[in-house]
Structure 1
Amino acid sequence: MKIEFEGDKPIVDATQIAPLMELDVIGFQVLMQSGHIRTGVERGTGVDAGKLRLTFQSPDWRVRLTCTGDGAVLTTTRLKLPGGSVHPMTGD
């Protein structure tokens, strides 16, 4: 997996992230658009300078990708979160 960039903004293909969250692409997109998947980008400093950590968090999963500055994914971490699911189509 490789992350693309528009300027300094990382762009991630939903077909690569959705399965990591046990979602299909449409379900992933619906949850992103409704705000039920939060995202974050952290840029490394010190010994981690030049690396990025991208986080995707749904009601069920937290997925973190650690990447090089050019977008090559070094590690992928998945954590199943306690709690209920949000149905992608209804938000329930």
Structure 2
Amino acid sequence: MRLEPRPEGGFTIDATDLGPLLGIDPPLVPGLLRDGRIQSRFERGEGEDEGRFRLTFLYRGVRLRLILDGEGTVLSRSRVMAASAR
């Protein structure tokens, strides 16, 4: 999977990629993001992690974390139930 780098910074992930990773039908993803029901966080790596980025998505107790390089290539991904949802 590869995300598209945005000129102003950050990345764009396609709903057809994100939806299944969160257990959601892809057409529902944009509305859930707009409504804040899918929460996201973007972080830039520092030190040893310079040039890498971490995207985290939270939805109904599922935490999806993607580690990317500067070109948007996913280097690793993890999907777990958040502690508060257990």
Give the TM-score of the pair, scaled to structure 1: 0.83
CA distance in 1, matches of 2:35, 2:61: 15
**Matching residue of 2:77:** 76
Q: Which blocks of at least 5 consecutive residues in structure 2 are unaligned?
A: none
CA distance in 1, matches of 2:24, 2:81: 13
Within-5 A mapping of 1:3-42: 3-7=3-7, 8-42=9-43
Letter in 2 for 1:2: R
Q: Which blocks of at least 5 consecutive residues in structure 1 are unaligned?
A: 84-92
Q: Displacement of 1:32 after TM fit? A: 1.1
Q: Displacement of 1:27 after TM fit? A: 2.5
Q: SS at the partner of 1:62?
A: strand
Q: Displacement of 1:40 after TM fit? A: 0.8
Letter in 1 for 2:20: P
Q: SS at the partner of 1:54?
A: strand
Q: SS at the partner of 2:55?
A: strand
CA distance in 2, matches of 1:9, 1:68: 11
Give the TM-score of the pair, scaled to structure 2: 0.88
CA distance in 2, matches of 1:38, 1:20: 14
